[in-house]
Structure 1
Amino acid sequence: MKQNRDPGLQPAPHQGAAAYARAADSRSSVIAALEANERRVDALHGERMRLLALAALTAEQAAEIGAALRESASSEPVSSGSDTAPPTASLSATEARRRELERRSLVAEIATALHFSEATVCGLLDDAETLAASLPETFTALRSGTISLRHARTMAGNARSLPASAHGDFEAAALPEAAALTAAQFTQRVRVLRESTHPESIEVRHRAAREERGVWLDPERDGMAALHCLLPAVDALAIDDALDQIARALREADDGPTVCENTPAGGEDAPISGDEAPVGGDKAPVGGVEGPVGRAAAPAGGNATAIGADAAPADTHGGLLGGDEVPSRGDDAPVHGNGSPRFVGSERRTHAQRRADAFVDLLLGRESRATALARTVAPNLMVTVPVLTLLQHADEPGELHGYGPIPPSTARRLAARAPSFLRILTHPDTGETLSVGRERYRPPADLRLALIAEDETCRFPGCRRRAARCELDHTHDWATGGATSRDNLAHLCPKHHHLKHDTAWTVRPGPARTLTWTSPTGREHTTQPMGRPVFRPPTRPSSHPSTPPRRAGTPTFESPP
């Protein structure tokens, strides 16, 4: 399909075309070598984990042999007048202590041999044992170089938090995703899959996890430090959105509607923005929810997406940890030359710097434009709630956009406070959106919100920038006949939007809104909407006596915390 590229970026046929082709072939060969090398590195990591699992087994065997020898010695007859044998409980405690010492000795020996810290070796041993004993297919994939060590360790860490009976279902659901997603994307997806296979209620687990909340400091270099917060997900995402709105309002106040220098000038296929921008996107107004979405009662079936519901204060039962998509220097602004963002106008702070400055001003009570703006900001959250959960006929978790599963009680409270909601009809098995209504060049609010909930992130391979902070792009350009329909619209961050239009990358749509990207050297990468469930979580029994049959679809809500 047609791509709107700058002719200056393409080599002229009569000016070094052969040299350009040779350079492209050379790049393709280098990338192929990098791919093969990465597979070998992953396979070597797999072999290291195999050896670590074997070392752990030898330590366990040594402890068992020692225990058997001591038991044999203690079973010999004792002479009269000698002390009586110690109680069985005391022997058990002694053996446990000796096993622990055997493990410590092994850890110390591996750490000194490999020049690793003992904490690092402990983590590697735990993961190696989990892979060998509970996740055989994952272990095989790592040893063959199909997945990376980070993917495998993410699998192992999540599997240990599940009962042994759930390991098989968890591996079957998660492993196919490991081969297709980056490690960071996979970590987020596994959190959702873990919830789907965990037999214990998220309400119970969240109450325990919430006791671990806290704030701590890590010193950094050059007079800097990192401040970390572990908070309920709803609170964390509300803070993140408030800082984002303040930073964008400060930029508008300083520069007007300033954009980075390489932002498209407009045209038929320019990013959909202005009064048609997604809620929470670059053009979202401070302190409110944008778009013609009215208040209405919950539908009888499907999912509801709450828009603008109040986020709870500190007593909420939200998720475990929120805001993992803090705007990065790479994703928040296009880069130029040396990788530094450049902005037009008098204000030279980046978006990330404005967020950090606003955070400091608000927390220390300094009078500034940021603190004045904070009094007018209403953070926005989006949460999808199964209708039966909303009506208290079931206890399936809600889905907090940008995070994942949250307790049903939190989802109901957010939905109750939402000024508006959107009903989205979905396929009962795949979760695919079936209908949201109209078609036109500027997509209506309900379609925009449905696509934000479904895409979850930028649709370029590996990108994790939230869809609400991306541009809605016509995959097949509107100017060349592309329709404004759900199958032809996808969210792209500004960086990857430019990559699509201004470089040799191409993209074609596929079934169920998949996108297949082709690199300049011909490599293909297919992405699917991250917000669509891989499989629907099981319906847990509810305390309510009568449970009506489940119907296709589910509502979605947008909420101000």
Structure 2
Amino acid sequence: MNAELAEVTATMRGRGEWEHRRFFPPGPKLALCLSGAESTLADLSETELVEVAAAARRQTAWAQARELAAIAELARRRARDEQDDHPDYRILSAHESVVEEVAAALSLTSESAATQVHLAERLHTDLPETRCALEAGQIDLPKVRAISDLTDHLPADVTATVEEAVVERASEQTTGQLRRRIRRIVQRLAPEQLERRKREAIAGRRLEVWETPDGTADLSLRDLAAADAHAIHNKITAMAHTLRQDGDVRTLDQLRADLAHQLLRGTPLPEVARAVQVEHTEPSATAAPEPTTASGPREHDTASVLADVIDARLTQVTEHARMQGRLNGLSARLQLAVRDIDEQLATVRDALCAAADHRHIGYRPPAAMRKVIEDRHPVCVFPSCNRRSNRCDLDHTTPWREQDGKGRTCPCNLAPLCRRHHRTKQTSGWALFQPWPGLLIWITPAGTWHIVHPERHLE
């Protein structure tokens, strides 16, 4: 461990901590805890209400793991029995029979049941860590499907490496963030297989239509090449903006839909829209830009250690408040704890900043600094946001004040926030801290916290 990391760790360890944030594990006991009438929720604090919602999600994951385990065992038994018989083309295979049995039992279509059986079999053969994480309530079913879908048909060693790399952090990520991380890892480990899958998907491109519950219908082009899809979207968007500037009162979404409708029906476009010529120059938005890791290994390792220590410290504050019966004021207590941590780290952080000489006098960061921050965080730093950072504001975590030098313009104090989550940060009850470059701590009004790490390739 390098000297800088040791110094930061020593500074923080003295504050007292728990090992990790604890939660009641899913299973029959948790089911009993969740079985109370809805009226009992009225007596809970906001912090406890969030905990109940999270506990219910864990319990759901556990139940889904049991469902998939039962399907996998049924499929295993039928396959074993089939080995003792001579195959007959006039009847269903063991696998097909299980699919139809699951379809009937769960009221699924045959296609959906086949997907469920395939997932169950993969969890009990190729993805054991993912299965355990689902059963423990650490990840939910959509994340399990993301891991399974993106590792399907990969070599066994690549699948194992990907699973090991992503399962631990998957609980902190949205499904979209998890998918991007898996794709980046697979791109490095098995680029040929990834390219083959892309070609196969594009070969299956199609136009689909389906009715909605509102009596309307959705029309979708599926599995286009990413560059083609974004070129089409960008061109129609440019036409829509031109019409808006010309005085059209329709919303941008309405204009895009109406322009696409006119183009497909062959209806002549307005003259101002026909004049628009747009070349596709933006990178695909189907995945966040590949981070080049602005921070070196030492900075990233320090951030990881700090994240664990901060999480433990905030857990301690929460449990102390719980024992005192003062959860309703938890958000303020957590904010004080993080401010205390921030002050402790100030000397080491300032020395790092001075050594790197990356401060900027003005309010707006120069282009090179912006690229460093966008590489470190390819998307908005709100925990569940996927908006690309090059379309976000670069927010001063500590507000910039020229008169007293507070809130400096440097990578130690900047992070991408989309406009919605920029406003969230400024809303009463919310707080955002950056105690270490790229490591951000959100505190919610209900007294929960979310730690956002700098993005990085496969560690």
Structure number having the greater strand percentage? 1
SS at match of 1:486: coil
Structure 1 pair 466/243, CA: closer, same or farther in 2 (3 Å)?
A: farther
1:225 and 1:204 map into 2 onto residues whose CA distance is 29
Please give the residue correspondences for 1:476-555 in structure 2 after superposition, counting only pairs within 5 Å.
476-479=398-401, 481-529=406-454, 532-535=455-458
Query: Displacement of 1:156 after TM fit?
Result: 1.5
Higher RCO (C-alpha 8 Å, min separation 6): 1
1:447 and 1:24 map into 2 onto residues whose CA distance is 49
SS at match of 1:502: coil
The structure 2 residue matched to 1:237, chosen from 197, 210, 230, is 230
Q: Contact conserved, 1:192 with 1:404, CA < 8 A, in 2?
A: no
What's 2:83 paired with? 64
SS at match of 1:478: coil
Normalising to structure 1: TM-score of the pair? 0.57
The structure 2 residue matched to 1:169, chosen from 146, 161, 168, is 161
2:110 and 2:245 map into 1 onto residues whose CA distance is 50
What's 1:356 paired with? 257
1:424 and 1:534 map into 2 onto residues whose CA distance is 8
2:234 and 2:299 map into 1 onto residues whose CA distance is 27
Q: Contact conserved, 1:141 with 1:147, CA < 8 A, in 2?
A: yes
2:205 and 2:357 map into 1 onto residues whose CA distance is 39
What's 1:120 paired with? 112
1:450 and 1:366 map into 2 onto residues whose CA distance is 45
Cα deviation digits, residues 141-198 of structure 1 (max 9, x gap):
1011111011112112222231223221011112123111112322233222232332
Query: Displacement of 1:252 after TM fit?
Result: 4.7
1:470 and 1:369 map into 2 onto residues whose CA distance is 33
Q: Contact conserved, 1:24 with 1:521, CA < 8 A, in 2?
A: no
The structure 1 residue matched to 2:135, chosen from 128, 143, 149, is 143
1:238 and 1:462 map into 2 onto residues whose CA distance is 27
Taking every aligned residue pair, what percent have the same amino acid on both sides?
28
Count of matched residue positions in the alignment of Structure 1 and Structure 2: 359
Structure 1 pair 99/485, CA: closer, same or farther in 2 (3 Å)?
A: farther
Q: Contact conserved, 1:150 with 1:183, CA < 8 A, in 2?
A: yes
Matched, 1:36 2:29: no
Match for 1:502: what amino acid? T
Cα deviation digits, residues 358-414 of structure 1 (max 9, x gap):
333444352226624532x344324xxxxxxxxxxxxxxxxx5652689xxxxxxxx
The structure 1 residue matched to 2:378, chosen from 456, 461, 464, is 456
SS at match of 2:442: strand
Structure 1 pair 138/223, CA: closer, same or farther in 2 (3 Å)?
A: closer
Structure 1 pair 245/402, CA: closer, same or farther in 2 (3 Å)?
A: farther
2:412 and 2:90 map into 1 onto residues whose CA distance is 62
Q: CA RMSD in A?
A: 3.3
SS at match of 2:93: helix
Match for 1:456: what amino acid? P
Structure 1 pair 511/365, CA: closer, same or farther in 2 (3 Å)?
A: farther
Match for 1:185: what amino acid? Q
What's 2:268 paired with? 366
Structure 1 pair 365/177, CA: closer, same or farther in 2 (3 Å)?
A: farther
Q: Contact conserved, 2:432 with 2:440, CA < 8 A, in 1?
A: yes
Structure 1 pair 116/519, CA: closer, same or farther in 2 (3 Å)?
A: same
Structure number having the greater helix percentage? 2
What's 1:441 paired with? 363
Match for 1:158: what amino acid? L
Q: Contact conserved, 1:60 with 1:99, CA < 8 A, in 2?
A: no
Query: Displacement of 1:102 after TM fit?
Result: 2.2
Cα deviation digits, residues 294-324 of structure 1 (max 9, x gap):
xxxxxxxxxxxxxxxxxxxxxxxxxxxxxxx
1:151 and 1:401 map into 2 onto residues whose CA distance is 20
Structure 1, unpaired ranges of 5+: 1-21, 68-93, 255-345, 383-399, 407-422, 537-561
Match for 2:458: what amino acid? F
Query: Displacement of 1:235 after TM fit?
Result: 2.0
Query: Displacement of 1:424 after TM fit?
Result: 7.6
Matched, 1:131 2:123: yes
Structure 1 pair 53/243, CA: closer, same or farther in 2 (3 Å)?
A: same
2:43 and 2:111 map into 1 onto residues whose CA distance is 45
SS at match of 1:380: coil
Q: Contact conserved, 2:429 with 2:445, CA < 8 A, in 1?
A: yes
Structure 1 pair 428/461, CA: closer, same or farther in 2 (3 Å)?
A: closer
2:47 and 2:84 map into 1 onto residues whose CA distance is 56
User: Quick check: 214-223 or 510-519, which moved more?
Assistant: 214-223
Query: Displacement of 1:504 after TM fit?
Result: 0.9
Query: Displacement of 1:519 after TM fit?
Result: 0.5
Cα deviation digits, residues 189-226 of structure 1 (max 9, x gap):
32222323326365555444443334333344524332
User: Quick check: 482-491 or 449-458, which moved more?
Assistant: 449-458
Please give the residue correspondences for 1:258-407 in structure 2 after superposition, counting only pairs within 5 Å.
347=249, 349-363=250-264, 364=266, 366-368=268-270, 371-372=273-274, 374-375=276-277, 377-382=278-283, 402-403=286-287
Match for 2:287: what amino acid? Y
Matched, 1:222 2:212: no
What's 2:395 paired with? 473
Structure 1 pair 40/206, CA: closer, same or farther in 2 (3 Å)?
A: closer
1:496 and 1:194 map into 2 onto residues whose CA distance is 30
Query: Displacement of 1:509 after TM fit?
Result: 0.7
Query: Displacement of 1:477 after TM fit?
Result: 0.4
Normalising to structure 2: TM-score of the pair? 0.69
1:190 and 1:466 map into 2 onto residues whose CA distance is 17
Structure 1 pair 99/370, CA: closer, same or farther in 2 (3 Å)?
A: farther
SS at match of 1:133: coil
Structure 2, unpaired ranges of 5+: 1-40, 301-352
The structure 1 residue matched to 2:178, chosen from 177, 182, 186, is 186
Q: Contact conserved, 1:472 with 1:491, CA < 8 A, in 2?
A: yes
The structure 1 residue matched to 2:151, chosen from 134, 148, 159, is 159
Match for 1:524: what amino acid? W
